[in-house]
């Protein structure tokens, strides 16, 4: 076994132990999901209270906190399956809380740049915040129409990893380049999903037109019957 394989196995073993311990408490997976949001709020607090003097240190703390929040994001679903608490609402709640967590983190970064009078990066952070939501929205809306839309590569895990890297290495000014990468790749992902949905819905009939189409399909079957009944009427 390679050292990377051994490290992965060790992490898997540790994660399984954590899940087992949480499962014994019978804690609700939704509570774990919400705790993850609260921890991300703490990370956003570090970002928002950073200054030019201590940005490297505060962002580093924030990055570590996000890693802690990610742990809850990894275990909530596993705990739900281990304790047989998997629900449709749980999946919905997890998705909603993930969106709030994203917004909270970007808002903390936005506040930092606003307090530092970096208007360009305030606008950039706001744009990344919007595109991150659009990445999720375009998939959700597309899957309501065509069943599956898993195209694009800037999903939430990739987004969080980049934010963590930007935060941990902000002492070297890494967060700004990370935001540019997020802005470009998230936009590409949104455009890709729009294009994918367009090509996969071209053959679909709008919901408002379905009754008309059904009527047109049924009409030829009804016409001979009506004609025969009219012919049988006495003159």
Going from N- to C-terminal start, the domains of the chain cover 9-203
The dihedrals phi and psi of 226, each to the nearest 5 degrees, come to -65, -40
Neighbours of 117 (CB within 10 A): 9
Mean residue pLDDT of the chain comes to 89
Reported as a single tens digit per residue, the pLDDT across 31-71 is 999 999 999 999 999 999 999 899 999 999 999 999 999 99
Give alpha helix (H) positions in 83-174: 88-115, 119-146, 156-168
Look at the chain and count its residues: 235
- pTM, full prediction: 0.84
DSSP state of 233: S
Distance (Å, whole) CA 189 – CA 197 = 12
Distance (Å, whole) CA 136 – CA 33 = 18
Q: pLDDT at position 235, please? A: 47
Question: Is residue 80 a contact partner of residue 30, using CB atoms and an 8 Å limit?
Answer: no
- Non-local CB neighbours of 158 within 8 Å, separated by 6+ positions: none
Q: What is the architecture of the domain spanning 9-203?
A: Up-down Bundle (1.20)
Reported as a single tens digit per residue, the pLDDT across 83-124 is 999 999 999 999 999 999 999 999 999 999 999 999 999 999
Residue pointed to by tokens 């499962």: 23
Reported as a single tens digit per residue, the pLDDT across 180-198 is 999 999 999 999 999 999 9
Q: pLDDT at position 35, please? A: 97
């Amino acid at each position: 076994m390679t050292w990377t394989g051994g490290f992965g196995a060790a992490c898997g073993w540790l994660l399984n132990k954590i899940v087992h311990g949480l499962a014994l408490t019978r804690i609700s997976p939704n509570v774990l999901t919400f705790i993850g949001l609260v921890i991300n709020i703490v990370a956003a607090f570090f970002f928002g209270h950073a200054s030019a003097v201590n940005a490297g240190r505060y962002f580093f703390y924030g990055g570590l906190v996000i890693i802690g929040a990610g742990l809850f994001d990894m275990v909530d679903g596993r705990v739900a399956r281990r304790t047989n608490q998997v629900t449709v609402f749980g999946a919905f709640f997890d998705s909603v809380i993930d969106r709030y967590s994203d917004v909270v983190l970007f808002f903390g970064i936005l506040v930092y740049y606003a307090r530092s009078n970096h208007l360009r990066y305030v606008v950039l952070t706001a744009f990344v915040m919007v595109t991150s939501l659009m990445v999720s929205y375009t998939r959700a809306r597309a899957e309501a129409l065509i069943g599956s839309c898993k195209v694009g590569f800037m999903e939430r895990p990739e987004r969080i990893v980049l934010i963590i890297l930007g935060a941990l290495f902000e002492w070297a000014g890494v967060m700004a380049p990370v935001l540019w990468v997020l802005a470009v790749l998230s936009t590409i992902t949104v455009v890709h999903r729009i294009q994918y949905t367009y090509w996969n819905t071209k053959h679909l009939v709008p919901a408002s037109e379905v009754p008309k189409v059904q009527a047109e399909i049924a009409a030829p079957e009804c016409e001979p019957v009506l004609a025969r009944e009219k012919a049988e009427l006495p003159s």
